[in-house]
């Protein structure tokens, strides 16, 4: 634990507009708590920033006092990078403003905003931004790593819709990054994570979506999984870009449209979102209903903002989580056989595997256009170990690692940086591929002392 003088802390409190918390203070333990309950770290000081001035104050304080820096947006990162041991936690969660300019189809979001905050404001104008699938995720971390979800096939990744950003750099400076201003910084933050500074405002391009979409779930018994996944694979090339279908393998939760006899049984679910005219939805998703004889299905028009929250009950904070992830170029038969077998008896009823189908507009972006390089990935596959009791840590982590290793021969070798856990530093090169060397040069330019290192860290290039 870093030792800070009372004088230094008093000066910080006097200068900050937001709340300064130290161990033992009321609210400290709540502020350091994040989504993944496996992470239990105690910063020396937390500044709950009220605005840009507080962010600059926190960065300067940490640098001048030799403190490690963790930056919290939504606190959802699997590796727990939002909170550090004994350093400075820059808590951006109070900065939640989202403003929409409907005439220009733009949104301006502060870094503490969650996906639900962005959806709430943009949907008021019939607009949307491609985001993730869990509404409690922070928009900042999602964006800085890439960002994909139900709208990615049609409109690209979140970073492909980022127009500009305001960034507080390691020296306490303030830069505007866009295609016209500080272009190298703008390139680096589109996939390079929090390595280059603290973003205090994101400007996004929006698209007409909603307020209603057509979607839902088709849930099949696992014994039909191999055949259904092969039919799924074969149907992908003919799917319109407005239709996104993800596959989820797990034990069936007690969903109201499933018979009680199916609850707790191994299942394959196809999760669908058709963002075109909802009246065309039944036709667009009809093929999915023929991939097997389901336990049950729940399909129909739904508000887009509600669909964005559909999986929140399965991803609530407070559980223990461990992920292993691959990028896939194709669903090979061997991979299908392996993942179906792995769900027959998982170590926890909350463990699951999902295949996030992202091929579409994002694939047409050149690899060198943004720091995020995985433009050829058809799927992001995530092995999601999730459980409640610490005594189950070893077996749940072992399940995820074993499945990761068994599916490695069918993977591209790359990985989505937001899915990396805290024990995979050797995969950083896989996260950035041919863009890694350029990222180290950008790091040397904007953060030569590596102040922002409590992340999936990109080291600065040697002088």
CA 289 to each of CA 136, 242, 271, 292, 425: distance values in angstroms, whole numbers, following the listed order: 30, 17, 11, 7, 41
Q: Residue 42 falls within a domain, yes or no?
A: yes
Assess whether 389 and 269 both reside in one domain.
yes
Residue 40 CA, distance from chain mean position: 20
**What residues make up the domain containing 237?**
212-419
Q: Residue 382 falls within a domain, yes or no?
A: yes
For residues 414 and 404, what is the distance between their CA atoms, to the nearest angstrom? Answer: 13
Last residue within a domain, chosen from 91, 110, 133: 91
Assess whether 80 and 188 both reside in one domain.
no
Residue 3's pLDDT band (boundaries 50, 70, 90)? confident
Task: Check whether 1 has a pLDDT greater than 70.
Answer: no
Tokens 């896939």 belong to which residue? 328
* 297-334 residue pLDDT tens: 999 999 999 999 999 999 999 999 999 999 999 999 99
Give the chain's mean pLDDT.
97
Residue 463's pLDDT is 84
- pTM, two decimals, is 0.97
CB of 317 within 8 A of CB of 135? no
Q: Residue 11 falls within a domain, yes or no?
A: yes
Q: Residue 415 falls within a domain, yes or no?
A: yes
CB count in 10 Å sphere of residue 286:
10
* 394-449 residue pLDDT tens: 999 999 999 999 999 999 999 999 999 999 999 999 999 999 999 999 999 999 99
Assess whether 45 and 130 both reside in one domain.
no
Q: Residue 461 falls within a domain, yes or no?
A: no
Residue 2's pLDDT is 55
Q: Angle, nearest 10°, between helix axes 393-407 and 333-342?
A: 170
**Region 28-57 average pLDDT:** 98
Residue 272's pLDDT is 97
- Give the ranges where 51-200 is alpha helix by DSSP (H): 52-64, 115-123, 139-145, 152-155, 183-189
- DSSP per-residue codes, 195-206: GS-EEEEEEEE-
* 166-224 residue pLDDT tens: 999 999 999 999 999 999 999 999 999 999 999 999 999 999 999 999 999 999 999 99
Assess whether 268 and 413 both reside in one domain.
yes
CATH code: domain of residue 68: 3.30.43.10
Assess whether 318 and 267 both reside in one domain.
yes
For residues 333 and 279, what is the distance between their CA atoms, to the nearest angstrom? Answer: 35
For residues 322 and 397, what is the distance between their CA atoms, to the nearest angstrom? Answer: 6
* 90-111 residue pLDDT tens: 999 999 999 999 999 999 999 9
For residues 266 and 377, what is the distance between their CA atoms, to the nearest angstrom? Answer: 27
Assess whether 311 and 383 both reside in one domain.
yes
Q: Residue 338 falls within a domain, yes or no?
A: yes
CATH code: domain of residue 411: 3.40.462.20
Assess whether 79 and 176 both reside in one domain.
no
Last residue within a domain, chosen from 91, 121, 146: 91
Assess whether 310 and 163 both reside in one domain.
no
Q: Residue 21 falls within a domain, yes or no?
A: yes
* 110-156 residue pLDDT tens: 999 999 999 999 999 999 999 999 999 999 999 999 999 999 999 99
Assess whether 197 and 274 both reside in one domain.
no
CATH code: domain of residue 144: 3.30.465.10
Assess whether 149 and 222 both reside in one domain.
no
Assess whether 235 and 384 both reside in one domain.
yes
Q: Residue 447 falls within a domain, yes or no?
A: no
Last residue within a domain, chosen from 63, 91, 119: 91
Element (H, E) at 382: strand 379-387
Assess whether 240 and 304 both reside in one domain.
yes
- Total number of domains constituting the chain: 3
């Amino acid at each position: 634990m870093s030792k800070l003088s009372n004088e230094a802390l008093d000066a910080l409190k006097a200068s900050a507009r937001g709340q300064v918390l130290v161990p033992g203070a009321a609210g400290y333990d709540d502020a350091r708590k994040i989504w993944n309950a496996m992470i239990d770290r105690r910063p020396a000081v937390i500044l709950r920033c009220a605005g840009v001035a507080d962010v600059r104050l926190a960065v300067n304080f940490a640098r001048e006092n030799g403190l490690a820096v963790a930056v919290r947006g939504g606190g959802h990162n699997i590796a727990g990078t939002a909170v550090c041991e004994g350093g400075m936690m820059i808590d951006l969660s109070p900065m939640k403003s989202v403003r929409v300019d409907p005439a220009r189809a733009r949104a301006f979001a502060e870094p503490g905003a969650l996906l639900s905050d962005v959806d709430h404001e943009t949907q008021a104008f019939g607009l949307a931004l491609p985001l993730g699938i869990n509404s409690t995720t922070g928009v900042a971390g999602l964006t800085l790593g890439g960002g994909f979800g139900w709208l990615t096939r049609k409109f690209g990744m979140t970073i492909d819709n980022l127009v500009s950003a305001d960034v507080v750099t390691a020296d306490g400076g303030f830069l505007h990054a866009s295609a016209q201003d500080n272009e190298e910084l703008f390139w680096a933050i589109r996939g390079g994570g929090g390595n280059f500074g603290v973003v205090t405002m994101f400007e996004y391009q929006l698209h007409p979506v909603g307020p209603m979409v057509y979607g839902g779930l088709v849930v099949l018994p696992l014994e039909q999984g191999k055949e259904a996944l092969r039919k799924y694979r074969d149907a992908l090339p003919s799917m319109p870009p407005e239709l996104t279908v993800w596959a989820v393998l797990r034990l069936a939760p007690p969903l109201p449209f499933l018979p009680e006899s199916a609850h707790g049984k191994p299942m394959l679910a196809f999760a669908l979102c058709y963002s075109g005219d909802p009246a065309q939805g039944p036709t667009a998703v009809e093929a999915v209903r023929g991939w097997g004889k389901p336990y049950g299905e729940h399909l129909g028009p739904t508000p887009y903002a509600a669909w964005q929250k559909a999986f929140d009950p399965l991803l609530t904070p407070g559980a223990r989580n461990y992920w292993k992830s691959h990028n896939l170029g194709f669903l090979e038969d061997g991979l299908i056989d392996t993942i179906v077998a792995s769900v027959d008896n998982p170590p926890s009823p909350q463990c699951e595997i999902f295949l996030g189908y992202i091929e579409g507009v994002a694939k047409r972006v050149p690899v060198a256009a943004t720091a995020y390089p995985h433009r050829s990935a058809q799927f992001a596959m995530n092995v999601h170990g999730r459980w409640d009791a610490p005594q189950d840590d070893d077996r749940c982590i072992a399940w995820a690692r074993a499945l990761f290793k068994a599916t490695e021969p069918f993977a591209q070798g790359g990985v989505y940086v937001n899915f990396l856990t805290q024990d995979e530093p050797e995969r950083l090169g896989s996260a950035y591929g041919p863009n890694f060397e350029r990222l180290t040069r950008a790091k040397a330019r904007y953060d030569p002392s590596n102040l922002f290192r409590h992340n999936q860290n990109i080291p600065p290039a040697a002088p």
